[in-house]
Chain A
Amino acid sequence: MDALISQYIDPYYLRILMLIGINIILALGLNLITGVTGQLSMGHAGFMSIGAYTSAILSMQMGSPFFLSLLAGAMVAAFFGFLIGIPTLRLEGDYLAMVTIGFAEIIRVFFLNFEPGGKAVGLSGIPQNTTFVLVWTLVIIIIILNAKLLSSRIGRAFYAIRENEIAAEASGINSTRLKVLAFTAGSFLAGLGGGLYAHYMYFIRPQDFAFMKSIELLNMVVLGGMGSIPGTILGSVILTLLPEMLRIVAEYRLLFYGALLVILMIFRPNGLLGDVRVYDIKKKLQGKKVGLWQSSN
Chain B
Amino acid sequence: MIWQQLLNGLTLGSTYALIALGYTMVYGIIQLINFAHGEIYMIGAFVGLFLVVNTGLNIGVALLGAMAFCMVLGMLVELIAYRPLRGRASRLSGIISAIGVSIFLSTLMVLIAQTNTRRYPDIFNIQTFQVGDLQVSSLQVIILVVATLLMIGLQLLVQKTRVGKAMRACSQDLEAAYLMGINVNRIISFTFAIGSALAAAGGVMVGIYYNAVWPYMGTMAGLKAFAAAILGGIGSIPGAMIGGLTLGVLEILGVAFLSSSYKDAIAFGILILVLIIRPQGIMGQKITKKV
The chain A residues found within 8 Å of chain B, CB to CB, are: 34, 40, 87-88, 90-95, 97-99, 101-103, 105-106, 109-110, 112-113, 164-167, 170, 211, 215, 218-219, 222-223, 226, 251-252, 254-255, 257-262, 265-266, 269-271
Q: Which residues of chain B are within 8 angstroms of A91 by Cβ–Cβ distance? A: 275, 279
Q: Which one of B27, B107, B227 has the greatest number of beta carbons of chain A within 10 Å?
A: B107
Given contacts A95-B275, A98-B275, contact A252 B103 (CB under 8 A): no
Q: Which of B45-53, B77-85, B125-133 contacts A (4 or more CB under 8 A)?
A: B77-85
> Cβ of B289: which chain A residues have Cβ within 8 Å of it?
165-166
**Residues of the A chain whose Cβ atoms lie less than 8 Å from the Cβ of B100:** 257-262, 265
Report the bound CA distance from A205 to B223 in whole Å.
Answer: 21
Taken residue by residue from 83 to 106, chain B's Cβ proximity to chain A (1 for < 8 Å, 0 otherwise) reads as 011001111111011011111111
Contact sample, A vs B, 26 pairs, CB 8 Å cutoff:
A87-B276, A94-B33, A98-B275, A99-B275, A101-B223, A101-B226, A102-B227, A102-B269, A102-B271, A106-B269, A109-B261, A109-B265, A110-B265, A164-B291, A166-B290, A167-B291, A222-B96, A226-B90, A254-B104, A258-B101, A261-B96, A262-B80, A265-B93, A266-B81, A266-B84, A266-B97
* B102, A265: Cβ atoms closer than 8 Å: no
B234's partner among A94, A215, A219 (CB-CB below 8 A) is A94
Task: Report the bound CA distance from A109 to B263 in whole Å.
Answer: 8
Taking a contact as CB atoms under 8 Å apart, the answer to whether B268 and A40 are in contact is no
Q: Is the CB of B268 within 8 A of A102?
A: yes
Q: Does B2 sit at the interface, judged by CB under 8 A?
A: no
A98, B227: Cβ atoms closer than 8 Å = yes
Residue ID in chain B nearest A260 by CB atoms: B100
CA distance A101 to B84 in the complex (A): 27
- Contact (A109, B92) CB under 8 Å given A94-B230, A269-B85: no
Please name all residues of chain B whose beta carbon is closer than 8 Å to the beta carbon of A260 when the two chains form the complex: 100
Tell me if B219 is interfacial: C-beta within 8 Å of chain A.
Answer: yes
Interface pair A166/B291, CB less than 8 Å apart: yes
List chain A residues, Cβ under 8 A from B265: 105-106, 109-110
Residues of B in contact, count (CB < 8 Å): 50
Interchain CB contact under 8 A, A255 and B108 = yes
Report whether A259 and B276 are in contact in the complex, using a CB–CB cutoff of 8 Å. no
Q: Nearest Cβ in chain B — how far from A172, in angstroms?
A: 15
Query: B99, A219: Cβ atoms under 8 Å?
Result: yes
Alpha-carbon distance A270/B94, docked complex (angstroms): 10
Instruction: Give which listed residue, A105, A215, A269, contacts B264 with CB less than 8 A.
Output: A105
* Distance, CA A262 to CA B97, complexed state (A): 5
Secondary structure of the A contact surface, majority rule:
helix
A265-B223 Cα distance, complex, nearest whole Å: 22
B1 contacts the other chain (CB 8 A):
no
List chain B residues, Cβ under 8 A from A99.
271-272, 275
Does B178 count as interface, using CB distance less than 8 angstroms?
A: no
| Residue numbers in A under 8 Å from B179 (CB-CB) | none
Kindly provide the distance from the CB of A148 to the nearest chain B CB, expressed in whole angstroms: 26
Among A105, A215, A223, A262, find the residue whose CB has the most chain B CB atoms closer than 10 A. A262
Taking CB atoms, residues of chain A closer than 8 Å to B264 are 105, 109
Please tell me if the beta carbons of B107 and A98 are within 8 angstroms of each other in the complex. Answer: no
Kindly identify which residue among A98, A167, A215, A266 contacts B226, using a CB–CB cutoff of 8 Å: A98
Chain A residues lying within 8 Å of B272, measured Cβ to Cβ, are 88, 99, 102-103, 106
B111 at interface (Cβ–Cβ under 8 A)?
A: yes
Tell me how far the C-beta of A242 lies from the nearest C-beta in chain B, rounded to whole angstroms: 12
| Contact with B99, one of A113, A164, A170, A215 (Cβ below 8 angstroms) | A215
